[in-house]
Amino acid sequence: MAVAVKGNTYGLYIDGEYGVPRDAKTLPVINPATGEEWATIVDASAADVDAAVRAAQRAFEGAWGATTPGARARLMHKLADAIEARASELAEIEVRDNGKLLREMGAQLKAIPGWYRYFAGLADKIEGETIPMERPTLFNFTLREPLGVVGFVTPWNSPLLILAFTAAPALAAGNCIVLKPSEFASVSSLEFAKCFEAAGFPKGVFNVVTGSGAVAGDALTRHAGVARIAFTGSAATGARVAAAAAGHYASVGLELGGKSPHIVFADANLDAAIPGLLSGIFAAGGQTCIAGSRALVQREIYDEVQRRLLERTRSIKIGDPFLAETEMGPMANEPQLKKVESYVEVAKSDGARLVTGGGRPSTAALQRGYFFEPTIFADVRNEMRIAREEVFGPILSIIPFSDEAEALRIANDTMYGLGSGIWTSDIGRAIRMARGIKAGTVWVNTYRAISYQMPFGGYKASGIGRENGIEAIRDYTQTKSVWIETEPVAGDPFAIKV
């Protein structure tokens, strides 16, 4: 590290200090609502990643490793306080980074301290066990120990919330972190590092290396000093990350994409279901892994649901994500906009019927940003690509069904299994469907709800492992078995003791 960091030129955050490595390449940070560059980040090299991992290792072997569970918990509460103090500022940075609404990011930032407080409460409850053995002279017990250095690769859609899912349990269990955020939205993570300083964490417990996935992300996932990789992003990159981690026997947690079915039965309360469907696909411009992108609608109400969806969708206010009245901001980056645009042609050529949207808004003020209209396709068949592939944008596919069995068959006919929604007033049906759906989360008469208390993760290609909830902390520990013979005797040296 050599060059001082100033203005909106961000360095890497390694060992408690910001710095730009000598001869570092940089990457522009673009505000997707305006298309303007507003900051610069470092395009880290593999050597920079190595420096961050080494700093984390030193912290783990040193000050952090010596910290008691109670002290860790107190620091995490101070971290939560520091996030609360800067919540508005961090939310605004996230809006400039990824174009999501201030009302959405403001709500996320208000909620994030809760993750750190919840897992702080678990820091002194990570208990081993005494094991009652068959041989009474043995006194056996287990210890649960931290892994060491863990590497996180986060995406651009909700960087700090997604980080909280993994950082909170990792810290509570006593690990050190190296984070590689998406090059499209890194600034909030760099600013977030200041909260660790404000809270008084030892240097090196939390490090941020920015840069491309292909270089910095790859170097982190391949680094032999990293004991676990937690990744959130696309299924294709997730598979690459898992292969890289396998190369040095690191464990992985993968939170990947989805093609979530959002099922509306004829007995549903449509006054609640219609806003539910809209929130499932148009909140965050559909740029969320839990987007309810396949609306499965029972035939009796198919026309009515279409009509009501169309009416509300046409009134969605697209625009400046900072304004309180805006309901949909831009796509988070140019490649994402291009990807969303391309799927309109894919859907049309497969025979889906465009009901509304399908292009960039014509409003003059929105031309420089990466805006895209909320879009609905009807008469979609589940075999069409628009119903099978993750778009990660504001495109809803409506698919008709006749009965529970057909709804379940269509819902489960996907490589993914992250979220799902059911709207019905029949409790028996809700329970049957919840049991039958192959997805990590089933929301009944609600959608897009998330909590640190509830396990979250995917079936099938939607991921490996669960974040949130008490069990999540186990992924950041490893079990040590301790055998103590209280009455040692010379046994047969050539036979295993069983």
Strand partners, 477: 146
Residue partners of 10: CB distance under 8 A and separation at least 6:
18, 39, 40, 41, 42, 186, 187, 190, 210
Stretch of 2-10, 48-56, 83-91, 152-160 contacting ligand NDP, by CB under 6 A:
152-160
In the complex, least distance from residue 297 CB atom to ligand NDP, rounded to whole angstroms: 24
**Residue 139 and residue 484 in contact, taking contact as beta carbons nearer than 8 Å:** yes
Amino acid at 26: T
Q: How many residues bind ligand NDP (CB under 6 A)?
A: 28
**Residue 112 and residue 84 in contact, taking contact as beta carbons nearer than 8 Å:** no
As a dihedral over the C-alpha atoms of residue 170, residue 175, residue 178, residue 180, rounded to 10 degrees, the angle is -10
Residues 362-421 that bind ligand NDP (CB under 6 A): 390, 392
Residues in contact with ligand NDP, shown as a per-residue x/- string from 212 to 231 under the rule CB under 6 A? xxx--xx--x----------
- Rounded distance, CA 94 to CA 332, Å? 11
In the complex, least distance from residue 159 CB atom to ligand NDP, rounded to whole angstroms: 9
Q: How many residues does the chain have?
A: 498
- Rounded distance, CA 213 to CA 202, Å? 28
- Rounded distance, CA 411 to CA 442, Å? 12
**Binding status of residue 468 toward ligand NDP by CB under 6 A:** no
In the complex, least distance from residue 235 CB atom to ligand NDP, rounded to whole angstroms: 8
58 or 223: CB nearest ligand NDP? 223
Catalytic annotation on 255? yes
Single out the catalytic residue among 104, 183, 255, 373: 255
Task: Work out which of 108, 157, 298, 356 binds ligand NDP, going by CB under 6 A.
Answer: 157
94 or 218: CB nearest ligand NDP? 218
108 or 306: CB nearest ligand NDP? 108
Task: Work out which of 9, 34, 88, 234 binds ligand NDP, going by CB under 6 A.
Answer: 234
Catalytic annotation on 327? no
As a dihedral over the C-alpha atoms of residue 181, residue 187, residue 188, residue 190, rounded to 10 degrees, the angle is 80
Task: Work out which of 39, 153, 171, 376 binds ligand NDP, going by CB under 6 A.
Answer: 153
**Which residue's Cβ has the minimum distance to ligand NDP?**
213
Residues 241-300 that bind ligand NDP (CB under 6 A): 241, 255-257, 289
**Residue 77 and residue 116 in contact, taking contact as beta carbons nearer than 8 Å:** yes
Q: What angle do CA 455, 199, 478 make, to 5 degrees?
A: 40
49 or 173: CB nearest ligand NDP? 49
Question: Whose CA is closest to 49, among 289, 244, 257, 246?
Answer: 244
What residues are annotated to the active site? Answer: 255, 289
Binding site for ligand NDP (CB under 6 A): 153-157, 182-184, 212-214, 217-218, 221, 232-234, 237, 240-241, 255-257, 289, 336, 339, 390, 392
